[in-house]
Structure 1
Amino acid sequence: MTYIRPNFRHPESLRNDAGYSIKHYEGALSTLCAGCGHDSISAAIIKSCFDLNLAPHKIAKISGIGCSSKTPTYFLGKAHGFNSVHGRMPSVTTGANMANKDLLYLGVSGDGDTASIGMGQFAHVVRRNLNMVYIVMNNGCYGLTKGQDSATADQGSVSKKGVPSVFDSIDLCQMALQLGAGLVARCFSGDKKQLIPIIKAAIQHQGFAFIDVISPCVTFNNTPQSTKGYEWVREHMEATGTIDFIPDRTEITLDYPAGSSRTVTLHDGSELHLQKSSADYDLSNRKAAMQQIETVKEQQKILTGLIYHNDTKLDTHGKINTVDTPLNALTQDELCPGSEVLAALNAKLR
């Protein structure tokens, strides 16, 4: 059958330092519409995990409902996976993370799955600073139900149906900033040079990392009047700068043109180098990041790139002071220490 990916790979195909070939990070062939931006995001995830030498079995990919939430089938076929109900991906990820914090949690969602039915879930997973990568594949419409406007469709934006959206849009990056995310970025699915380093940085970030990826729907929302279409996005991007991800295991050699630059050191020692090409602002200043988004929006453009980074906050496990051993690895004696310990605990609550 044509939707089955062939198993053959050249025996001398490139392998990363962990001994894996790119095949170990692939999934099934995509059944999304030809040209869908979501497939470009899947390819960026595959490339990022390969370059970072991640063991596929140490990754958990979790999604909700929608075109975006189908994509985990198309990448990391050897990883753990869970397709949850509509808008509930953050709860499932939280539960899994509480049980085993040693896995990398990669949450994939859509603008409907996050900004509409899953808004409450999104808000609380951000404020708890769960250690995960949260990627929204944002196309401004409901692709599975014939292209109705979603909550991220900009006011006045025109989809294939030809009727401009009459409501103000929800800016998920601004929400993530306001709620306390440690890393916030926005990318365009058609710009892999920007997207791949951002995904790598998000993976290495300790805490909640949010990436809003503008991913045009080629079937329902790719008209010249749509602010989520390829044509409009390419002509209206305002990037924070060019980005390079430098793993801590390699010698760092840089050759940047004159201008403002910033180095973001991640928790594992890796570095993200940002060469500013627009008005400079402090990436660790949440207020400045919010202001920059608004400034670019007033110019009828989309701010892309790394928008905010702060690695000083404790993640969920740090906030609630969980044990070092993952909960699913604790023994029966450790989980049930006896009636005397329970009695002492109850006494403290009286």
Structure 2
Amino acid sequence: MTYIRPSFRHPGLPKNDIGFTRADYEGAISTLCAGCGHDSISGAIVQACYEMSLEPHRLAKLSGIGCSSKTPTYFLSHSHGFNSVHGRMPSIATGAYMANRDLVYLGVSGDGDTASIGMGQFVHAIRRNLNMVYIVMNNGCYGLTKGQHSATADAGSKSKDGAINPFQSIDLVGMALELGATFVGRSFSGDKTQLVPLIQAAMSHPGFAFLDVLSPCVTFNNKPESTKSYDYVRAHLEATATIDFVPEKKEITVDYAEGSSKNVKLHDGSRIQLHKLAPNWDPTDRGSAVNRLYEAKSKGEILTGLLYIDQESRDLHELENTVHRPLNSLQETDLNPGAAALENINESFR
């Protein structure tokens, strides 16, 4: 069996605004289990980048360890990539972004990679408002090591070998909201209609954009007792809104019925249209998002969609007032301002 995708494609495939077909955004053939939700998320990333006409070389994809962290191999094979050690992906993303702000940074992680060994890395990436898209492929188990419960598995849930989880789960969405993430969303791997525009909006957001994507593990955690199973998620979804991403164009006209939709403008001129479904919810009000999330959880619902967005977000480069150019392009004259400038700095401390 080969894991190399055939290079031949039908010459009549449709192309996006920069002349690429969807096939140009694909990667190697997946080696994950057949039916794995992670592959659906990879497909959504491919579709989102294709529709946005993103040049593949402008994307940097980063990951840690786990089934989820294998997926960057399966999308955008012509992009930059770095597969780090377990839980350390945010550090690599931070260093890369501080060195070159011109790229789009997409981090892929899992519930074990983020909610356990990588928790400290995760919270500081949020705190610094690192300009990246951070996707957690959340299946509630350790799929590479025979399906043990992860930190996001609900208390009382049963693993495939019959073990009962005695611990309360960590809600990464609630944590992201509490820590001040400027873009927070949740989706389901089986809902491409919702997931694709969420990814597109996250890529257009200037700051830390967190997406928790429930992704059933078909081998170890897709049984009736699991709240991460395909059937359970389908039966308990509660969407905040129907979502439509509107790319930046020379002219954007909007005509929505008053009171039924909210149109959020992103920093690059693109927009995300939200047609409200969930009650007591405003995506620009953090308190509203926290309250609605708690209400859904108390009812056994899984709240999905764009939960919160800060339209005045300032990312790490803005907070630190750093140089705009990539560090590898700086010359000696840029890095050595001269004796007069040094004297002025020393004088300011006297």
Task: Give the TM-score of the pair, scaled to structure 1.
Answer: 0.95
Task: Give the 3-state SS of the residue equivalent to 2:3 in structure 1.
Answer: coil
Deviation at 1:304, TM superposition (A): 0.5
Which residue in 1 is equivalent to 2:194? 194
Give the RMSD, CA atoms, in angstroms: 1.8
Which residue in 2 is equivalent to 1:19? 19
Give per-residue Cα distances to partners, 1:43-100, cap 9 Å, x unaligned. Answer: 0000000000000001100000000000000001000000001100000000000000
Distance 1:260 1:156, change over 3 A: farther
Q: 156-165 vs 30-39, which deviates more?
A: 156-165
Deviation at 1:266, TM superposition (A): 0.6
Deviation at 1:163, TM superposition (A): 2.4
Deviation at 1:311, TM superposition (A): 2.0
Q: Supply the AA of the counterpart residue of 1:207.
A: G
Which residue in 2 is equivalent to 1:141? 141
Q: Is the 8 A contact 1:256 1:275 kept in 2?
A: no
Deviation at 1:21, TM superposition (A): 1.3
Deviation at 1:338, TM superposition (A): 4.2
1:68 maps onto 2:59 in alignment:
no
Deviation at 1:209, TM superposition (A): 0.4
Deviation at 1:285, TM superposition (A): 1.2
Deviation at 1:346, TM superposition (A): 5.3
Q: Within 1, Cα distance between the matches of 2:264 and 2:276?
A: 13
Deviation at 1:347, TM superposition (A): 5.6
Which residue in 1 is equivalent to 2:84? 84
1:243 maps onto 2:243 in alignment:
yes
Q: Within 2, Cα distance between the matches of 1:36 and 1:106?
A: 20
Which residue in 1 is equivalent to 2:34? 34
Give per-residue Cα distances to partners, 1:219-253, cap 9 Å, x unaligned. Answer: 11111110001011000111112111111217657
- The correspondence of residues 301-312 of structure 1 with structure 2, limited to 5 A, is 301-312=301-312
What is the aligned-residue identity percentage?
63
Unaligned runs of 5+ in 1: none
Q: Supply the AA of the counterpart residue of 1:123.
A: V
Give per-residue Cα distances to partners, 1:78-126, cap 9 Å, x unaligned. Answer: 0000000110000000000000000000000000110000000000000
Q: Within 2, Cα distance between the matches of 1:222 and 1:255?
A: 42
Q: Is the 8 A contact 2:280 2:288 kept in 1?
A: no
Q: Within 2, Cα distance between the matches of 1:258 and 1:164?
A: 49
Which residue in 2 is equivalent to 1:113? 113
Q: 152-161 vs 73-82, which deviates more?
A: 152-161
Which residue in 2 is equivalent to 1:273? 273
Q: 178-187 vs 153-162, which deviates more?
A: 153-162
Give per-residue Cα distances to partners, 1:262-292, cap 9 Å, x unaligned. Answer: 1111111111111112204221111111111
Deviation at 1:328, TM superposition (A): 2.4
1:2 maps onto 2:23 in alignment:
no
- The correspondence of residues 76-225 of structure 1 with structure 2, limited to 5 A, is 76-225=76-225
- Number of paired residues? 350
Task: Give the 3-state SS of the residue equivalent to 1:319 in structure 2.
Answer: helix
Q: Within 2, Cα distance between the matches of 1:82 and 1:141?
A: 24
Task: Give the 3-state SS of the residue equivalent to 1:333 in structure 2.
Answer: helix
Which residue in 1 is equivalent to 2:293? 293
Q: Within 2, Cα distance between the matches of 1:158 and 1:218?
A: 15
Task: Give the TM-score of the pair, scaled to structure 2.
Answer: 0.95
